[in-house]
Amino acid sequence: MKALVMRGPGSIQIEDVPFPVRKPGEALLRVRYIGLCGTDLNSYRGRNPLISYPRIPGHEIAASIEEIDEGNSEFFVGMDVTLSPYTNCGTCSACRNSRGNACQFNQTLGVQRDGALAEYISVPVEKLFSARLGLRELCLVEPLTVGCHAVARARVSSSDTVGIFGCGGVGLGAVAAASFRGAKTIAIDVDDGKLEIAKKAGSAHSINSQQQDLGAAMRELTDGMGPQVMIEAVGRPETFVAAVELVAYTGRVVYIGYAKEPVTYETRLFVQKELDIMGTRNALSPDFREVIMMLEQKRFPIDSAISTVVPFEEASKVLAAWDENPTRFTKILISFDSPSATESDRHVADQVEFA
Ligand SMILES: [Zn+2]
Ligand SMILES: [Zn+2]
């Protein structure tokens, strides 16, 4: 069968690889759509410290069940599913705390293990999720769970006002999940296009922090108190610091972003405000179910969030184009259903002029 193999940074092509052997307890899946995210771009660029090569990428997955053990009541042959791409060791401190999402020895499909940019994969049945969703929606579940988990960490409820720094893929998931829980969400970004999509995902207010005085705008929207929750999905020292400055007294701050440089804090704010400051990583099964429910209720603008759909044959080309022009794409989906791809897929694919 065919798979997309990354031999090293910048080196990626379709190759023939062995067909997966399904073990008992696993489901053989025919891959339909794969979403790409910043992790895949970083792997392509050689800037993902967790990856080893050669590697088949792909961890945002929509697939159809081809073969499964008989007698499974929830899943059956022909059913469309998505899945959790994380495996955990079961014995580390995080796993013992039922928080396998933060497993010390986590392996993610497409990063530490071969992923799903292949015609078929075989995965443990307990990783699967069924849903009343189309294939593209199924493909968006995993990227949205990361923001959803941050919202769960912050214990967001309908009485909260939540400020969210960064409306890229991950931050957008947090905007959608917080809004889905009934909170008043304030989306903050420097890109009006992203703020527009955040609005469609449920944000009550948006602030372009390059054009507005962020502190003043936040105070105005929160009766001068600041939001109860601040979620940081950018990963820059300024936004790490601003989150504790903007949040209300006794508020919760959740960090999703990976800051690549050290951050200098006025730590007295932690004490004075008696803050809960938390990290968040990956996602758990309840996050998958919450996102699926949100998508089933049509609470997320999937068409606005997907910028490009290309056939599998053009996957390496689109990665190269994304590498050259990172701001041009938001969400890229790779379709395995070509050449019998749907008309709308073709239409989108035709609009992509490769650099
Ligand atoms: Zn991803
Ligand atoms: Zn573990």
The rounded Å distance from CA 112 to ligand 2 centre is: 14
pLDDT of residue 350: 42
Encoded amino acid at 344, one letter: S
The rounded Å distance from CA 254 to ligand 2 centre is: 22
The rounded Å distance from CA 37 to ligand 1 centre is: 4
Dist. CA 205–CA 161, nearest whole Å: 11
Backbone angles phi, psi at 4, to 5 degrees: -90, 120
Enumerate the β-bridge partners of residue 63: 31, 81
The rounded Å distance from CA 96 to ligand 2 centre is: 7
Q: Are 165 and 188 in contact (CB under 8 A)?
A: yes
Residues with CB under 5 Å of ion ligand 1 are 37, 39, 143
The rounded Å distance from CA 86 to ligand 1 centre is: 11
Q: Looking at 167-294, which runs of residues are DSSP E strands?
A: 184-189, 205-208, 229-232, 252-255, 276-279
* Tokens encoding 206: 């948006």
Enumerate the β-bridge partners of residue 11: 8
Dist. CA 148–CA 180, nearest whole Å: 10
Enumerate the β-bridge partners of residue 340: none
Neighbours of 303 (CB within 10 A): 9
Dist. CA 295–CA 131, nearest whole Å: 9
Residues with CB under 5 Å of ion ligand 2 are 88-89, 92, 95, 103
pLDDT of residue 347: 42
Q: Give Dmax over CA atoms of the chain in angstroms.
A: 61
pLDDT of residue 339: 54
Enumerate the β-bridge partners of residue 36: 332
Residues across the chain: 355
pLDDT of residue 338: 65
Q: Which ligand is nearest to the CA of 38?
A: 1
The rounded Å distance from CA 228 to ligand 1 centre is: 28
Q: Which ligand is nearest to the CA of 104?
A: 2
β-pairing, 276-279 vs 252-255, is: parallel
- Report the C-alpha dihedral over residues 114, 117, 118, 119, rounded to 10 degrees: 150
Dist. CA 34–CA 6, nearest whole Å: 15
The rounded Å distance from CA 261 to ligand 1 centre is: 22
pLDDT of residue 344: 47
Dist. CA 142–CA 333, nearest whole Å: 13
Neighbours of 113 (CB within 10 A): 14
**Residue 265 neighbours by CB under 8 Å, 6+ apart:** 240, 241, 244
Q: Are 187 and 208 in contact (CB under 8 A)?
A: no
Backbone angles phi, psi at 80, to 5 degrees: -90, 135
Determine whether 101 is exposed, middle or buried from the number of CB atoms within 10 Å of its CB (0-12, 13-18, 19+): buried
β-pairing, 229-232 vs 331-335, is: unpaired
**Residue 269 neighbours by CB under 8 Å, 6+ apart:** 244, 245, 275
The rounded Å distance from CA 38 to ligand 1 centre is: 7
Mean pLDDT by 10 residues, the chain (355 residues): 96 97 96 96 92 96 97 93 96 97 95 97 97 97 97 98 96 98 98 96 98 97 98 96 98 93 95 98 97 97 93 96 90 83 44 40
Taken in order 323, 324, 330, 331, the sign of the CA dihedral is: negative
- Report the C-alpha dihedral over residues 109, 112, 114, 117, rounded to 10 degrees: 60
